[in-house]
């Protein structure tokens, strides 16, 4: 597996071409909705390219050059939603880590026309790297074809952006090398809602600096890994971190 990942990274470096991916469909009630129906069409919907400039406002939803036409889906707090992976091939092919954030649109603002600015984002789910002091590092998100997670049952009613990102780390050893695959869905939490106070709240751009983003995952093997972003909310509850065991990728490209 490690040899495979290294070869992929070297091939990507050598040719400048690699397999990338997008998150075009929101999964609600166990069903895939239509492509770019409830997910904002991202800049990379055709070329699949990642974002690499974490200081850009595109790090919010990766939608600067696309017009917002997405609809907003009603969901229940406590229910499971998700995003599908589409690309070449259609899975989280690169070694990397994953985060899911939500941000509540200000009162009176339709989430469909909101840009996600301000200190508004809280993390509800993550799949980090697994380290063991320097012998191995593994990335449990690798190879996933879809990612599902619960909307915390404590989530207050309202309209939210749900932002998913996979941070590919295969060429992250140089500045700006980490590849961000981002998309935002639009949901209205109202079928059932909670009375929690989401947090800590962070801002994009601004939240991401070097730890967890600028590192060599191959040599020397990192002894520990710092997941980018704040801790998952709520600290214990429906959004608690789990590492789904999925079949590992054996072929690609």
Ligand X SMILES: *[C@@H]1O[C@H](CO)[C@@H](O)[C@H](O)[C@H]1NC(C)=O
Residue 219 makes CB contacts below 8 A (sequence gap 6+) with none
Q: Is 31 or 195 the residue whose CB approaches ligand X more closely?
A: 31
Site for ligand X in 76-115 (CB under 6 A): 84-85, 90
Positions in 1-40 near Cu ion (CB under 5 A): 18, 20
The minimum distance between CB 86 and ligand X, in angstroms, equals: 6
CB 18 to Cu ion: min, Å: 4
- Of 18 and 155, CB closest to Cu ion: 18
Do residues 170 and 95 make contact, with C-beta atoms less than 8 angstroms apart?
yes
- Separation CA 78–CA 151 (nearest Å): 5
How far apart are alpha carbons 67 and 63 in whole angstroms?
A: 8
Strand residues in 107-219 grouped as ranges (E): 121-127, 130-131, 137-138, 146-150, 158-168, 179-189
Start-to-end C-alpha separation, the chain: 15
Count of other CB atoms within 10 angstroms of residue 88: 12
Please identify, using beta-carbon distances, which residue of 20 and 104 lies nearer to Cu ion: 20
In the bound complex, what is the minimum distance in angstroms from residue 17's beta carbon to ligand X? 22
Pick out residues in 131-170 that bind ligand X (CB under 6 A): 145-146
| Residues numbered 218-247 forming contacts with Cu ion, rule: CB under 5 A | none
Give me the residues that bind ligand X (CB under 6 A), please: 32, 84-85, 90, 145-146
């Amino acid at each position: 597996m490690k040899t495979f990942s290294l070869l992929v990274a070297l091939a990507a470096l050598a040719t400048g071409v690699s397999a990338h991916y997008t998150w075009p469909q929101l999964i609600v009630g166990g069903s895939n909705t239509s492509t770019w129906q409830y997910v904002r069409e991202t800049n990379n919907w055709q070329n699949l390219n990642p974002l690499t400039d974490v200081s850009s406002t595109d790090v919010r939803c990766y939608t600067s050059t696309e017009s917002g036409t997405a609809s907003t889906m009603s969901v229940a707090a406590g229910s499971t939603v998700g995003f599908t992976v589409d690309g070449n091939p259609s899975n989280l092919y690169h070694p990397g880590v994953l985060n899911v954030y939500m941000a509540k649109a200000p009162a009176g603002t339709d989430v469909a026309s909101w840009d996600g600015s301000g200190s508004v984002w809280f993390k509800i789910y993550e799949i980090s790297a697994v380290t063991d002091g320097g012998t191995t590092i593994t990335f449990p998100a690798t190879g996933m074809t879809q990612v599902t997670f619960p909307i915390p049952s404590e989530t207050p009613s309202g309209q939210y952006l749900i932002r998913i990102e996979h941070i590919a780390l295969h060429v992250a050893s140089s500045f700006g090398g980490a590849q961000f695959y981002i998309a935002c869905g639009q949901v209205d939490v109202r079928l059932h809602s909670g009375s929690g106070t989401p947090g800590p709240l962070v801002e994009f751009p601004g939240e991401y600096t070097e730890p967890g983003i600028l590192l060599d995952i191959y040599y020397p093997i990192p002894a520990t890994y710092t997941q980018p972003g704040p801790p998952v909310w709520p600290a214990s509850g429906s959004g608690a971190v789990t590492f789904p065991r999925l079949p590992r990728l054996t072929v690609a490209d």
